[in-house]
Amino acid sequence: MSVTSVLYDRPGPIGRRRIRIASAVVTLVLVGCACYVLVQLAHRGQLSMQLWGPIVDPRNQQFAAFWNFFGGGLMSTLTSAGISIVLAVILGVFLALARMSAGRFSRPVIIAFIELMRGIPIVVTIFVLSQVLPEFHLGIPVIWYLVIGITAYHAVAIAEIVRAGIHAVPRGQTEAALAIGLSPGRSMRLIVLPQAIRLMLPALIAQLVRVLKDTSLGFIVSYGELLSRGQIAAQNLNNPFQVYFVVGVIFIAINLVLTLIANRSEAALNRTTRTRGGAGTNPSALDAAPQTHDPNPIVHV
């Protein structure tokens, strides 16, 4: 099986030589850039063990203290992300159902709410909550500023995913549920939603990646998550470059795993819907939801 793309023909001998040369040139240039960066870093003493030691060297006396502190930050990040995604899914399902079942008068209200929440940057919401609530003596633990801010924003995105998911469940399911005498509410809750959630799973996991990323905004309210603890550690150890590098690596590692799970669950979904003869299910309708996962559009046959 030859590896060709729809965009170009399978290269001949001359084309293959050109591609090899281009590949070599690109690799050289990139390696050159990397070398330049490393030389510059070394030149400024940024690669010294004095700065990296507390992070990577278990024999360093600050190693244990750093990772204790930093690991606590990781727990806070995961906790706030977990609470946020659960609340956002609950609110999102509610919003989607409200929007779909709303009458002529309540629909504009819900749409206005959705557009409003979508239009305000999360960082502003978090900042507003942390400034305004204490003014009215409604101070709550710092984590909730972060969680409420993230939930309010992502619930709207999840509502869109849920709406697409519900639309992707074949109409016959609702009709059959109504035909056996279930009320519209129960047919939604018992028949349609469970199937819709299965269809939405990949998109929901992809949304979780965004939620996790947004928890880093906790540094605005100094909620001790990964980034703000990193900030404090970097001030004490005087190695901001190294600490932020590690923060980035941790986020990327966790999110890559989540992305992998999302892709796996989507593959599993495609497999099961195919073996069941499709049954009119149309998971691709979920692609209509905004910012779904990587559609991986270029097909290499």
Q: Least CB distance from residue 268 to another protein, whole Å?
A: 22
Q: Could you give the string, one character per residue 192-221, with x where binding to another protein holds by CB under 8 A and - elsewhere?
A: -----------------x---xxxxx-xx-
- Give the span between the Cα atoms of 120 and 153, in whole angstroms: 8
Q: Could you give the string, one character per residue 82-111, with x where binding to another protein holds by CB under 8 A and - elsewhere?
A: ------------------------------
Q: Which stretch binds another protein (CB under 8 A): 82-90, 170-178, 270-278, 291-299?
A: 291-299
Taking CB under 8 A as the criterion, the residue among 32, 71, 108, 121 binding another protein is: 121
- Give the span between the Cα atoms of 287 and 152, in whole angstroms: 23
Q: Residue 108, Cα to own-chain centre: how many angstroms?
A: 29
- Of 206, 201, 197, the C-alpha closest to 295 is 206
- Give the span between the Cα atoms of 201 and 63, in whole angstroms: 39
Q: Residue 75, Cα to own-chain centre: how many angstroms?
A: 17
Taking CB under 8 A as the criterion, the residue among 17, 30, 106, 186 binding another protein is: 30
Q: Does 235 engage in binding with another protein (CB under 8 A)?
A: no
Q: Does 244 engage in binding with another protein (CB under 8 A)?
A: yes
- Of 283, 261, 263, 262, the C-alpha closest to 272 is 283
Token pair 């992707």 is found at 168
Taking CB under 8 A as the criterion, the residue among 35, 56, 111, 116 binding another protein is: 116
Backbone phi and psi for residue 78, each to the nearest 5 degrees, phi listed first: -65, -40
- Cα-Cα-Cα-Cα dihedral of 140, 142, 143, 149, to 10°? 80
- Give the span between the Cα atoms of 209 and 117, in whole angstroms: 19
Taking CB under 8 A as the criterion, the residue among 59, 61, 103, 135 binding another protein is: 135
Q: Does 115 engage in binding with another protein (CB under 8 A)?
A: yes
> Which residue number, 177 or 233, has a Cβ lying nearer to another protein?
233
- Give the span between the Cα atoms of 51 and 236, in whole angstroms: 11
Q: Which stretch binds another protein (CB under 8 A): 68-76, 140-148, 180-188, 243-251?
A: 243-251
- Give the span between the Cα atoms of 261 and 255, in whole angstroms: 10
Residues that bind another protein (CB under 8 A): 5-9, 11, 15, 19, 22-24, 26-27, 30, 36-37, 40-41, 44, 46, 115-116, 118-124, 127-128, 131-132, 135, 209, 213-217, 219-220, 227, 234, 240-241, 244-245, 247-248, 251-252, 255-256, 259, 290-291, 294-295, 297-299
